[in-house]
Amino acid sequence: MSKPYDFLQELVGDLPEGAMPVVCGFKGDPKTVGGWNPVMVNGHWPKNLTPDMNLYIGVSSVSSLSDKGGYSASGFEALHFVMVDDIAQEELPLVPSWVVETSLNNYQNIYVLDEPLLDVVKARRLCNLLADIAGGDTNAKGPARWTRLPFGINGKPKYEVEGKAPKVKLSDGDSWIKYSVEEITEAFGIDLDQINAPTSNSESAQLSREKIDEMLGHVDPDMDYDSWKDVLMAVQAAGGTFEQAEAWSRKGSSYEESALTTSKWDSFSGDGGITARTLAMYASEGGWDGDIVEADLDAFEEGEESEEQKRPNIPVVVSEVNEKFALVSLQGRIRVMHEKLSVDGVPTQEFMTSADFGLLMCNEKSVIVGEKPVPLATYWMGSPQRRGYEGITFIPKGINAVGGDADNKNYFNTWAGFMTTPKKGDCSKYLAHLKDVICAGDQEHYEFVVSWMAELVQRPERKIGCALVMKGGKGSGKGTIVKPLAEALGRHYMYVSSMQALLGNFNSHLGEAVLVFADEALWGGDKKADGALKSLITEPKIVLEKKGIDKVLINSHHHIIMATNEDWVVPASKDERRYMVVECSDESKPREYFDALHEELENGGAEALMGVLANWEAPDWVDFYRPPVTEALLDQQTHTQSVQETWWEEVIDTRVIKEAGEHGFEYEEGDWVELGVIVDSMIHHGRKRGISVAALTRKTVGKFLTRKREKREIMKRRRTLEGKKVTEYKLGKH
């Protein structure tokens, strides 16, 4: 199917009388092009649309374009296919009819309907619900949505390969299966009743054009994106036009031509609790002192309530919603916060748009205002008694602190508190294991480690200044030591098993972590990771980065525990003070020993431990910024020396230059050694120690040897050997 017109015919099938598919094409970046200039296809492919363009087709056929020549739902005739954007085919519950690869690893998945959907409201609902539930690009909504045709290019500069725009093409394995609406909704878990439900009051006209203009006159268009979108949706729900919304938007100083398009306007859902009253709320905040009287809301249908269905007490309704929900400003975007318990029973928060909040509450009983039902979500959003915060903060509070709210009551503190309540009891087996096994019987080390844990529990908002490092063989119970602390901190505890997870670019999982347990997360000689790890241990702030979202600077309350059975754990410099390194006892404990220890923790021992830590007073000698210099720390310092330095010390000490396979040769005073042999020996030395050797080249090793030469510890010469120039060194003092 190589011809675009043949492809279109197969795609849209039978068209309603007077309906035509819509296509468009243009060169350049879709985000910056001035206009898309839709064309209704009538019997042949438009000659001005060529393969060197971005080529699109609309999901719906129309009988006419809008007054401005745009593709919108105003001329809707039938929905022929739906799209799921930015999702790989293998992640979908239903095999697509065809898949367009828009660029490398980016896809648009198309489901062709076996019969066109002729109802515009049902078409909008299907498109919007599919986008919300399937994931991917949730902006791919509305019955006037564009999808790429597999005959052009992708003109977005970020997808260029060697300066050329990639071709858009059909992916392998297209089935061309056509589906009914029922098959699509069932596969994606969409309630078919949501598609077929009677038209809601938010989907039909409510206010006069004059009333909408009056209200918009009191709403400042210079607002954050989500608030701007809410206003547009409210205008649409109230019966306003695209032209009204566009005229109001243009008054904003930051308005862009591409911000509001007819396709975006048509993508707005009639669900989510956004109604004319939402517009009234925004207008009131801008000084509008009017009201929406009963005559304005002629589209509201009176609810018929029996005597058993009493009208809810309005203040009580708001109070009940306030118990779980609040309106919060998040970096300039307004979100509804839902306080809930996770599946593990841990307090947590979810943040949703007002539209999602409306969907969540759509089955709740409406509030009766006068004689008219108002959706509970809408009523609560506009209530002056609604709970709200200027923002969120994260300030951990100690286990002995009273209350858990942030000092500034205008900000919501996301600190969930400790999950374990301190109680009197027995944790003697735990403490004995900590002292005798983890600290190998050293009283000083034991007191420091307990003081470290107590500081975490009593003052979690403070950084301790050093990380706790447990070095010991498998089965020594290092994880058992961390377990009660992890359970006490709940969602503020984070387990990682690699340095990438701990120090990688995308570190949003560390945002509200207070205790991070790095289990077998090996440093491996990465100099970049060295600085990042030390910053995480001591710096009061860190940069948090989520994929696709701008970086933010946050307060750091992180406390780090590391555990491993490897030789080289941390980058400990000569005067290192950031690590308390303990060498665990190598005495093997039987299974019965650990069974008894775990039984103690599960039967009051964890609560007893919290009681000990909550009341522990650190000895006067404890200084978290100057932990004890242990033998294990000295060992880490030795390992942290550069590969070149440790190789040099070994060679000078043994007078043996080892090569791969443990082979080596002794050198006598006055022997000359070729540079390549030295490089190979250093690489063998580094690999044996588990250190990265990527930086070991003839150039870098030569620089190291030059420094030794400056100290008169080495001599250098160049000569010709068998017709080749070689560089050789004589080791030792000269």
Which of 576, 587, 581, 588 is closest to 566 using CA atoms?
581
Torsion angle in degrees (nearest 10) through CA of 401, 407, 409, 412:
-70
- Tell me which CATH code domain 4-197 carries: 3.30.70.1790
What is the DSSP annotation of 259-282?
TS-HHHHHH--S-SS--HHHHHHH
Domain boundaries, the chain: 4-197, 203-303+310-388, 428-636, 642-731
pTM of the model: 0.49
Torsion angle in degrees (nearest 10) through CA of 495, 496, 497, 499:
-160
Residue 301 has pLDDT above 50, yes or no: no
List the single range of 135-149, 316-330, 351-365, 611-625 with lowest mean pLDDT: 135-149
Confidence tier at 570 by pLDDT (50, 70, 90): low
State phi, psi for 731 to the nearest 5 degrees. Answer: -85, 155
> How do residues 463-503 score in pLDDT, each as one tens digit?
888 889 888 888 889 899 999 999 999 989 988 877 666 66
Q: What is the mean pLDDT of the chain?
A: 79
Residue 325 has pLDDT above 60, yes or no: yes
Burial (CB count <10 Å: 0-12, 13-18, 19+), residue 381: buried
Confidence tier at 310 by pLDDT (50, 70, 90): very low
Bridge partners of residue 117, in order along the sequence: 79
What's the 3-state SS for 197-230? CCCCHHHCCCCCHHHHHHHHCCCCCCCCHHHHHH
Mean per-residue pLDDT, 99-121? 87
> How do residues 358-389 score in pLDDT, each as one tens digit?
999 988 888 877 778 888 898 888 888 888 99
Residue predicted with more confidence, 167 or 711: 167
For residues 725 and 719, what is the distance between their CA atoms, to the nearest angstrom? 6
Residue predicted with more confidence, 294 or 627: 627
Confidence tier at 617 by pLDDT (50, 70, 90): very high
Tell me which amino acid residue 485 is. L
Pick the most confident of 27-41, 280-294, 351-365.
351-365
Q: What tokens appear for 163 in the block?
A: 């300066």
Tell me, what DSSP letter sits at residue 89?
G
Mean per-residue pLDDT, 617-635? 81
What pLDDT score was predicted for residue 269? 55
Residue 330, CB half-sphere, CA atoms under 13 Å: how many? 14
For residues 113 and 16, what is the distance between their CA atoms, to the nearest angstrom? 14
Which residue do the tokens 């916060």 mark? Answer: 337
What's the 3-state SS for 234-258? HHHHCCCCHHHHHHHHHCCCCCCCC
Q: Do domains 428-636 and 642-731 have the same CATH topology?
A: no
Residue predicted with more confidence, 264 or 716: 716
Are the CB atoms for 381 and 354 separated by under 8 Å? yes
- Tell me which CATH code domain 642-731 carries: 1.10.10.10
Residue predicted with more confidence, 56 or 654: 56
What's the 3-state SS for 143-162? CCCEEECCCCECCCHHHCEC
What pLDDT score was predicted for residue 338? 94
Residue 306 has pLDDT above 50, yes or no: no
CATH superfamily for 428-636 is P-loop containing nucleotide triphosphate hydrolases (3.40.50.300)
> How do residues 131-157 score in pLDDT, each as one tens digit?
878 776 656 667 878 889 988 898 888
> How do residues 666-684 score in pLDDT, each as one tens digit?
777 778 888 888 888 888 8
C-alpha 273: how far from chain center: 27
Residue 734 has pLDDT above 60, yes or no: no
Bridge partners of residue 412, in order along the sequence: 392
The beta-carbon contacts of 722-728 under 8 Å, at least 24 apart in sequence, are 726/674, 726/675, 727/674, 727/675, 727/702, 728/672, 728/673, 728/674, 728/675
